A and B are shown apart, each in its own frame.
Chain A
Amino acid sequence: MFEHVVIGQYLPGRSYLHKMDARSKLASVFLLIIIVFMTNTWAGYGLLWAGAVLVYLLSGVSFRYIRKGMFPIFLLIIFTFILHALFTQEGDVLVSVGVFTLYEGGVEQGLFIAFRLLLLVFFTSLLTLTTSPIDLTDALEQIFTPLKRFGVPAHEIALMMSIAIRFIPTLLQETEKIIKAQSARGADFSKGTWKERSQAFVALLVPLFVRAFKRAEDLAFAMEARGYNGGEGRTKLRKLTWTLRDSAACAAVVIFGICLFFFRS
């Protein structure tokens, strides 16, 4: 039932992107997001798409996967495109039907926004598709560690994130199980009146929350029983290693950004 949720999913592999250090991937994606937002010309977006294709080829992820991951955002993108196209009144008039007039500037603006959203989702999904959640939180912890001096609880934040990520599949499984159990008792989650459906969802949410709280309590007890006391002096089983590959990738992204800067209007 939740077989098709792709956002945040990790696909194990051995590609260039998979082998990169999670920190360099995070940094690159961060830079790429800035670049995507800076770009405002057709040539710029052309180059960005070329870059996206290159990154995609380096990821070794099958296109079907990316398409599936992008699908839920597609509606949002089409919606924003239509809004921008209709309500921006710049440039020459393209067509005019009834009260709606389509301006050249509006279509351009709409396409740019659509491209931006698509590229954002594309780069971030590639990040999560090629980086295991554990590596990702480890990387975040290390990036935040210098901020500890200013009272940022880096380790605790990372721990919260890894626990949250760790329990997403568990909760999805649990949800699927309860949906099945209640369906077997005749509940229908997709058909019926609003009243019937909301009743069905109560039958899903109450057990789900009860279980989640129970789980949280068990986890807390288990951690305390093993003497867990935060990040102080803690060593890591899996060390992140920064290699030439990572420096090269980051340098490439920076150079790419500088090049694109000259394409701004």
Chain B
Amino acid sequence: MKITFDNVHHIYMEKTPFETTALKDITVTLPEGTCSAVIGRTGSGKSTLVQHINGLLKPTSGKVMVGDQIIHAKTKRKQLKLLRRQVGMVFQYPEHQLFEDTVEKDLLFGPKNIGLNTTKIKKKLPELLELVGLEPSLLERSPFDLSGGQMRRVAIASVLAMEPNVLILDEPTAGLDPKGQEDILTLLKDWQEKYQITMIIITHQMEEASRLAEKLIVMDNGQIAMEGRPEDIYAQNQMLQQLDLDVPERVKVLKYLEESLGIRFSKWSLTPKEAASELNMWMKKEKNHV
């Protein structure tokens, strides 16, 4: 589903001394069936932005369009509930939301709430667990007996079990070890490609954003500072540094090679393997020239 923000403002605690403007004049489109990343430093309004997509927050003014549903300041609760069937959201530290006595029950909580066929989903659970890298035998265990990384996977699976058309993830890898981070990113990428869903990932690591996203939205101080393809954004080095963001190391290496050797890479989001083979080709070509 295509998601469009049209002139969205959001003010927290309006008309109190604690009033703060969290979003100012946001107009942006997240294309259907692709992964977009929202990136920015703490307090830049990333979380506030994405919570508008499933109606957890309503814009103070302006409107948000998700598919053909429109959310504005006066949208009714009932409509928001419909929206939540379509839009899955994985919060920061999602393992804090686990509560049932078995993993299986926790995974079925969401699907049951939105009225999906639970018997059908129950059969798919072992497969789902394997997909997120867990043993199907864990289904009968208590989620509180699992390790932190395992809990994170169960929590992500509990949202995937709702089969959302739009998946939002708020810093899904925060606090995990490098291996765990890698695994989670891979499984998300695979899921997105398999089901062609619209995915939005919040992060403050460029590295992570560059791995998944076809579109980057850089937020600063409640506004959109930059948006576009990762390549175009990496090119604006100075602007990124002003926002306390950095070009991913991989891209830095490619950039350096381009500058010092005069090689042109096909794109900057290359995996190390792809980059190596392009470099290899280039070197062969150079040799032939000589």
Contact = CB atoms under 8 A, between A and B. Distances in A.
Q: Does B associate with A?
A: yes
Contacts of A64: 15
A177 B51 CA distance: 11
A180 B109 contact: no
A39 B139 CA distance: 65
Interface string A58-81: 000000110000000000000000
B12 A3 contact: yes
A207 B96 CA distance: 6
Interface in A151-186: 177-178, 180-186
B150 interface: no
Interface in B1-35: 12-13, 15-18
Interface in A40-90: 64-65
A207 B95 CA distance: 9
B262 to A, nearest CB: 50
B98 interface: yes
A237 interface: no
A59 to B, nearest CB: 14
A206 to B, nearest CB: 4
Interface in A182-218: 182-188, 190-191, 202-203, 206-207, 210-211
B96 A185 contact: no
Contacts of A190: 77
B114 A186 contact: yes
Contacts of A182: 97
Contacts of B159: 184-185
Contacts of A203: 97, 99, 109
A202 B162 CA distance: 20
A186 B85 contact: yes
A180 B51 contact: yes
- The interface size bin for chain B is 20 to 34
B91 to A, nearest CB: 5
Nearest to A183: B56
A185 B110 contact: yes
- The interface size bin for chain A is 20 to 34
B91 A186 contact: no
A193 to B, nearest CB: 13
B16 A3 contact: yes
B89 interface: yes
A135 B91 CA distance: 36
* Highest count of chain A CB atoms <10 Å: which of B12, B16, B56: B16
B40 interface: no
B97 A210 contact: no
A206 B98 CA distance: 8
Nearest to A64: B15
Contacts of B98: 207
Given A177-B91, A183-B84, A184-B89, A202 B113 contact: no
A27 interface: no
B88 interface: yes
Contacts of B12: 3
Contact of B113 (A188, A206, A207, A210): A188
A161 to B, nearest CB: 24
A71 B119 CA distance: 47
Given A3-B16, A185-B110, A187-B113, A211 B96 contact: yes
Contacts of B110: 185-186
A11 interface: yes
A123 B246 CA distance: 54
Given A177-B91, A184-B56, A207-B97, 9 more contacts: A64-B15, A181-B89, A183-B84, A184-B87, A185-B110, A185-B158, A186-B114, A206-B99, A210-B99
9 contacts: A3-B13, A178-B96, A180-B51, A185-B97, A185-B113, A185-B158, A187-B109, A203-B109, A211-B96
Which 4 A-B pairs rank lowest in CB-CB distance, beginning with the nearest? A186-B113, A206-B99, A185-B110, A184-B89
